[in-house]
Amino acid sequence: MTTNHTQNTTTSDGSTFVLSGFADEIDPNLETQLDVFEDLDIGYFDLRGVYDTNVLDLDDNSLERIRDMIDDRGIAISSIGSPIGKIGITDDFEPHKARFERAIKVAAFFDVEYIRIFSYYIPEGDDPSKYRGEVMDRMRWKAKRAEEENVTLIHENEKDIYGDTAERCRDVLTTVNSSSLRAAFDPANFVEIGVKAYPYAFVLLAEYVEYLHVKDAEMDERGEIRPAGEGDGRFDDLIRVLDARGFDGFASLEPHLQYAGPSTGMSGSEGFQTAAEAFRSVLTEVGVDYE
């Protein structure tokens, strides 16, 4: 991963965490999103949506306006926060292929390496293993296209998709076996389904983790979303082991402090600031480099 922003850092010998975030959790308006990121001194964001429109539904003129605005601000995009793979595994794949091709074009337009993806919702009550073959076929196809287009797909562990548990995430990554398919490790999403993000899930996925989603959660019946370090995701231990492994990548704030829905989340400007301060506190306490 390469970056072109240099900001305040702590000192460490092991790694660099580059701060990013899903700016649409602040406000639908891009100018407001960028204002808050400037105030927080965060130089990257994950482009998931602006003006209540998903990134894959933005036309070319809208993309050009976004590029002009972020260039003027000196802020760059760390990933295309696409909803690819957030359909049912029994849904027709052909229209989704077209959506995926759009994601590749958007990534190329912004010269972005990473595209966030998922591994398909499993029908409620069904055994995920019943759909394993179809999941792998779809994921292999996407990974092949990613290899051809020189982009990296980052698979997010999301509740109710095939790859929601650590074991099935690893199954996807090892079966597809592509350098263009890596893991976007989301501790809160593991905690919410009763899986210990650290050490259990991380140990299974460590070699594939190339991107970190920063949100925490409580492991109980409520499963309340919390800022990093305030839930059961063990962010301090996770950061320590990532540092020891020489992690050099994006740590993206996705706080979901006000609302968590199937396609987006909301934190508001104050909630996003709270999330950023909490994560920076964890990084400072552990003593790792961050930008």
Domain ranges of the chain: 16-290
Closest among 74, 84, 109, 34 to 184, alpha carbons compared: 84
What's the mean pLDDT in 145-149? 99
Residues 193-241: pLDDT tens digits? 999 999 999 999 999 999 999 999 999 766 789 999 999 999 999 999 9
For position 267, what pLDDT does the model report?
Answer: 73
Give the model's confidence band at 266: pLDDT under 50 very low, under 70 low, under 90 confident, else very high.
low
Distances (CA, A) of 164 to 25, 189, 213: 22, 8, 14
Give the model's confidence band at 260: pLDDT under 50 very low, under 70 low, under 90 confident, else very high.
low
What global pTM score does this model have? 0.93
Q: What is the dihedral of CA 189, 192, 194, 197, to 10 degrees?
A: 40
Q: Is 51 left (phi over 0), alpha (psi -120 to 50) or beta?
A: left
DSSP run (H or E) holding 132? helix 132-149
What's the mean pLDDT in 92-102? 98
16-290: CATH superfamily: Divalent-metal-dependent TIM barrel enzymes (3.20.20.150)
DSSP run (H or E) holding 181? strand 181-185
What's the mean pLDDT in 30-52? 98
**If you search the block for the tokens 């109710």, which residue do you land on?**
160
Mean pLDDT of the chain: 93
